[in-house]
Amino acid sequence: MEFEEIIKAIGIKPYYKDEWCAIYHADCRDILPLIPDKSIDLVLTSPPYDDLRSYFGNSFDFINFKQVVACLTPKVTEGGVVVWVIGDAYLNGSESGSSFKQALHFMDIGFRLHDTMIYVKDTISSPQSNRYNQMFEYMFVFTKGKPNTFNPIKVTTRGYKPSRTSTRRKRGTGELEYLEYEQGKEYRTDGNIWFYGVGYKKSAKEDYIFEHPAIFPEALASDHIISWSNQGDLVLDPFLGSGTTCYCAKKLNRYSIGIEIEEKYCEIAAKRCSQSVMRLEV
């Protein structure tokens, strides 16, 4: 289905809409059932894990998690991808293990755990006195079967350099001929541990300040959108927050739907997405 047909099928007026994205101010459990089945190519989100933040009275525990996933599952196309960015809280002196519980639940209902990726931050959110400082979150990549798309992020191969060390004599002459060859490939597929700066100044480039307790790095969103979708695909974020997923999807020529329960963040997301963006052909 085309983007406009999907928005029409949902049947509820978005909080914000343009030709590339639609934002809904609602509990995602109310909007997800209205989205046509098998229409979402990529889900990219970071839920408010372990009920650490009430989000203005709206909690998110394991029961709510299972309800959201039940609504979400039929909406993902065959070969579609769900990128679930999550960490664990410290409860009663130990890590909660919620990230693993959620990953296992996805697998129990039929998703494949395609990759367990790590998002390393450059800050420490809660220094600990009796354990090493927590500086990462998981980025679980779930798929419905074999993923339809993989556009790997490439990095320069460590130690790469072209060489001109091979020589031979030209046939029929006494002259030496230098043969140029490469020591390996100049670029390789990146690893599954990604490093990002955290915070407004490092995560967003808009010319205004906004507040959100857990800003999603733009580079993280963009890298996953590039990796697991193609131009013209539909991206969904059921916990949109300040709108980074939709903002980056629009910049990368993907359609997107964002759902956010707090109107304050819908306002921020709408303002970001309404700005003109430099379109990137990736």
Task: Dump pLDDT digits (tens) for 188-213.
Answer: 899 999 999 876 554 455 544 455 55
User: How confident is the chain (282 residues) per 10-residue block, as mean pLDDT?
Assistant: 97 97 98 98 90 56 93 98 92 87 97 97 77 90 97 82 57 61 72 84 50 74 98 98 96 97 95 80 74
Q: How does strand 136-143 pair with strand 234-237? A: unpaired
pLDDT of residue 198: 79
pLDDT of residue 178: 58
- Pick one of 3.40.50.150, 2.40.50.140, 3.20.20.70, 3.30.420.40 as the CATH number of 3-153+190-274: 3.40.50.150
Contact 115, 85 (CB under 8 A): no
Length of the chain: 282
| Torsion sign over Cα 120, 156, 217, 146 | negative
CA dist., res. 159 & res. 178, Å (int) = 22
CA dist., res. 58 & res. 51, Å (int) = 9
SS3 251: helix
pLDDT of residue 163: 58
- Map out the domains of the chain as residue ranges: 3-153+190-274, 154-188
- H or E segment and range at residue 162: strand 162-169
CA dist., res. 32 & res. 54, Å (int) = 21
CA dist., res. 14 & res. 21, Å (int) = 10
- For the entire predicted model, the pTM comes to 0.85
pLDDT of residue 216: 80
pLDDT of residue 40: 98
- 66 exposure class (CB count in 10 Å sphere: 0-12, 13-18, 19+): middle
pLDDT of residue 209: 47
